[in-house]
Structure 1
Amino acid sequence: MRALVVYCHPREGSFSAAVRNTVLERLQAAGAEVRLHDLYAQGFQPVLTTDEWTDYLDCPGNQAPVADQVADVTWCNTLIFIYPTWWYGLPAMLKGWLDRVLLPDVAFIMPKGEGDNIKPGLHHIDRLGVFTTCGASRWLTMFIGAPGKRTLMRGVGLLLAPRTRKVFAAHYLMDSAQEDALKAHLAKVARQVDKLTGVKTSSAIPQAQTQ
């Protein structure tokens, strides 16, 4: 199992960092090879530049500005996203990662003729995990349409292998969450990762960090 973890949060010590640590611990317990892309720590540039837009369909030259990121997407068979939900969607940093890294001839194949649709390009990935936190309630997030979740679980998910194994966990009402709820959510994250890897879940509850 080769897992690429794309982590997006600006502050170390956040609850998202605790989720990240739980995910990494469970992947390690499953014996997975893991590559972590901490977008803020790496100083990832999320803006698709004019030159990149101009060369967007120039394959494989379009990969040059993000060659290291593309190499890890090509390498992995498991893709995991960890991020806070802001304004019901993805942080700009993570949305920029999708814009710049999931390119034509990397994530999808461009249409060949009039009326054609794009074709999936990530059939080597057969496991997808999405882990997030939300300030809003689950009801309100669903009422708005949960655009962040849909972008990853449906949008990216459609580019992956048929019958890809998918897991999702969100902690809602994050701003008023208490310690017991945070610990319980980390235990849920651990169970979801174990579903992804097929490893029996540990009964231990991970320690929560402050938000």
Structure 2
Amino acid sequence: MKTTIILAHPWHGSFNKAIFDTVITKLEEQKKEYQVIDLNKDNFDPVLREEDLALYSKGETTDKQVIQYQKMLKETNELVFIFPIWWYDVPAILKGFIDKVMLKNFSYVETKTGLEGQLINITSSKVITTSEAPTWYIKFFKGNSIQKVFINATLKGVGIKNVKWLNSPYTTSGKKEKRKSFLKEVALHF
């Protein structure tokens, strides 16, 4: 089993990439096996097209990349998401990843009482985000789409529990020292 890192930021000069590099460094120091899903670098197409929607209720896809990502997730025991919070939510490419990859009979089955998550091999997860808004504002005034929707509903719905969320507020406008401090905090979680 290994750690899978999902990076959902298009610019490799971003602070998200610095977070990614910090995570990789820590995993390599600990000699942990890892694999990377860099959605933008992989040219992942997040659009759920008609041909895929026709197969959606069967839990099938025509997208070979989706099949590869599913294989990677089955080999995963720790999952790390790294992404910016845009418009108080996940980036579109990450939403598309969820829509296309987390298919029925792969990541969940339907029961009489709701979804039963199938990705129970993933025993821990970290969601590491960046934002311009302060974390308290995202949590208390904007409906907290990261904790309440992405973590408590989406990830839990596919069987991923034990999720830790770290957010770097004021990422663009804040001081360099705050960003350095956040990278040290990220390193402590690995």
Letter in 1 for 2:98: L
> 2:49 aligns to what?
49
Letter in 2 for 1:50: E
> 2:144 aligns to what?
146
Structure 2 SS opposite 1:55? helix
> 1:202 aligns to what?
none
- Residue in structure 2 matching 1:133, options 130, 134, 147: 130
Q: List 4+ stretches of structure 1 deviating above 6 A.
A: none
- Give the structure with higher Rg (CA): 1
- Where do residues 32-181 of structure 1 align in structure 2 (5 Å cutoff)? 32-59=32-59, 62-65=60-63, 66-111=66-111, 115-142=112-139, 143-155=141-153, 156-160=155-159, 164-181=161-178
Structure 2 SS opposite 1:170? strand
> 1:17 aligns to what?
17
Structure 1 SS opposite 2:37? strand
**Structure 1 segments unaligned to the other structure (5+ residues):** 195-211
Q: For residues 34 and 5 of structure 1, what CA distance do their matches in structure 2 show?
A: 7
Aligned length: 186
TM-score calculated relative to the size of structure 1 = 0.83
CA RMSD of aligned residues (A): 1.6
Query: Structure 1's 45 and 74: CA in aligned 2 closer, same or farther, altered over 3 A?
Result: same
Aligned partners of 1:89 and 1:148 also within 8 Å: yes
Q: For residues 57 and 15 of structure 1, what CA distance do their matches in structure 2 show?
A: 38
Q: For residues 75 and 63 of structure 1, what CA distance do their matches in structure 2 show?
A: 20
Q: For residues 158 and 109 of structure 1, what CA distance do their matches in structure 2 show?
A: 10
Letter in 2 for 1:23: V
Shift of residue 33 of structure 1? Answer: 1.2
Deviation sequence 1:66-122 (CA, Å, 0-9, x none):
1111110111111110000001100000000000001111110123xxx53121111
**Structure 2 segments unaligned to the other structure (5+ residues):** none
TM-score calculated relative to the size of structure 2 = 0.91
- Which shows bigger deviation, 145-154 or 182-191? 145-154
Aligned partners of 1:109 and 1:120 also within 8 Å: yes
Deviation sequence 1:150-203 (CA, Å, 0-9, x none):
333212034336xx43322101122311110010000011112x2xxxxxxxxx
Percent identity between matched residues is: 26
